[in-house]
Amino acid sequence: MNRLNIGGLIAKLPIIQGGMGICVSLSGLASAVANEGGIGVISAVGIGMLEPNYRKRFHQSNKISLRKEIRKAREKSDGVIGVNIMMAITDFDDMLKIALEENVDVIFIGAGLFLKKPEIPEGCNTKFVPKVSSARAARVIFNYWAEKYDCVPDGVVVEGPKAGGHVGFKKNELLNVQKSLHEIVQETVDAMKPLEERFNIKIPVIAAGGIYTGYDMFEIMEAGASAVKMGTRFVTTDECDVSDAFKQNYLRATPDDITLIDSPVGLPGRVISNSFVKRIQAGETMPVRCPWKCLKTCDYKTAPFCIASALFNAAQGNLEEGFSFAGSKAYLAEKIMSVKETINEIMQEYTEAKYLATLKLKTIRM
């Protein structure tokens, strides 16, 4: 298996753990993945909800907590540590500033078109990787950077329709999928070629969404991906920073439990169904006490529920007043194991898939 090279930043394994909010992937999970040679990612959204008094000083709490989690991850690992920041949050600039001040290895940016190249402090080597759902969006961002800044971001994550959390597709597109992740990856690899030639670089295309096993990983890398980004798979690990109740919810889930909701972020969200989800889907509204304006797109006066509170409640184990985000393959989780065991299992499956593919090729040639 090849190493992953993101603009000169090398990870031993082409496996990135997706940033998961709210407070699902913090320093515990990120450092464990980094220690195994992958890229561990801290999710910045709502990270300050862990701080006492966050309701009164939310943005300040977010800054304190992000810095603290990055430093804790660095203490626990010499590996590659990243931060995930959504453009849809109102303190995007502050979160970006903290991540750059802490010189994190890489920042993944989703939920918006990442057109503005950040100011980079001196001595900072952070790499930038936007997340998109189509080759078209990748082309828009990369061509804009090429024309305006004479450079391009260091890599791109392509997330398909099967992902957990907010998904960059309309609900009807998710119910009637037009393009598979394979197709989107291949189109994005092609879209990056002229830019790779122009700048004489390699732009890694990283695939995400519904990649759970090493077999999935092998298939998507055969389609041209340089690496995979997995969220759901890492939830049911010992080191994942959520409550045990959240993890048990994954273990209990069947394929029928995995469903879609309309989120105040303005995108559909994939979740595990429970009574809270059923009430939202039935059109019920929950009392919203907006502790702060965390999302650019959420109008708390009309929002049917507060997604920040719902996700945080679930992460802390209160599934009566919240729900778990989860990818379409969350029902495959059977037990909770360490990150080391999880990555070993993925690698073993990958090797098996590769061996089977070689056998198949030999049979065809005979």
Site of interaction with ligand SF4 (CB under 6 A): 264, 288, 290-295, 298, 300, 303, 306-309
Member of 37, 164, 268, 322 binding ligand FMN (CB under 6 A): 164
Neighbours of 335 (CB within 10 A): 8
**Is the Cβ of residue 21 or residue 264 nearer to ligand SF4 in the bound state?**
264
# binding residues, ligand FMN (CB under 6 A): 29
48 binds ligand FMN (CB under 6 A): no
Member of 79, 165, 214, 322 binding ligand FMN (CB under 6 A): 165
Cβ-count burial of 20 within 10 angstroms (0-12 exposed, 13-18 middle, 19+ buried)? buried
**Is the Cβ of residue 70 or residue 208 nearer to ligand FMN in the bound state?**
208
**Is the Cβ of residue 208 or residue 220 nearer to ligand FMN in the bound state?**
208
| Separation of alpha carbons 340 and 24, rounded Å | 18
Q: Are 206 and 227 in contact (CB under 8 A)?
A: yes
Q: Tell me how far CA of residue 128 lies from CA of 32, 69, 107, 282, 305, in angstroms.
A: 22, 19, 5, 40, 32
Question: Closest separation between CB of residue 334 and ligand FMN, Å?
Answer: 16
294 binds, among ligand FMN, ligand SF4, none (CB under 5 to 8 A by kind): ligand SF4
**Is the Cβ of residue 192 or residue 315 nearer to ligand FMN in the bound state?**
315
Q: Which of 325, 327, 235 is nearest to 277 (CA)?
A: 325
Closest CB to ligand FMN belongs to which residue? 231
Q: Which of 173, 293, 241 is nearest to 22 (CA)?
A: 241
300 binds, among ligand SF4, ligand FMN, none (CB under 5 to 8 A by kind): ligand SF4
Pairing of strands 106-110, 127-132: parallel
**Given its phi and psi angles, is residue 270 left (phi above 0), alpha (psi -120 to 50 degrees) or beta?**
beta
Q: Are 159 and 209 in contact (CB under 8 A)?
A: yes
Angle at 165 between CA 2 and CA 335, to 5 degrees: 70
261 binds, among ligand SF4, ligand FMN, none (CB under 5 to 8 A by kind): none
Segment interacting with ligand FMN (CB under 6 A) among 32-40, 64-72, 116-124, 230-238: 230-238
Q: Which of residues 103-132 bind ligand FMN (CB under 6 A)?
A: 110-111
Question: Closest separation between CB of residue 169 and ligand SF4, Å?
Answer: 21
Which residue ranges make up the site for ligand FMN (CB under 6 A)? 18-21, 24, 43, 45, 84, 86, 110-111, 159, 162-165, 208-211, 229-233, 235, 325-327
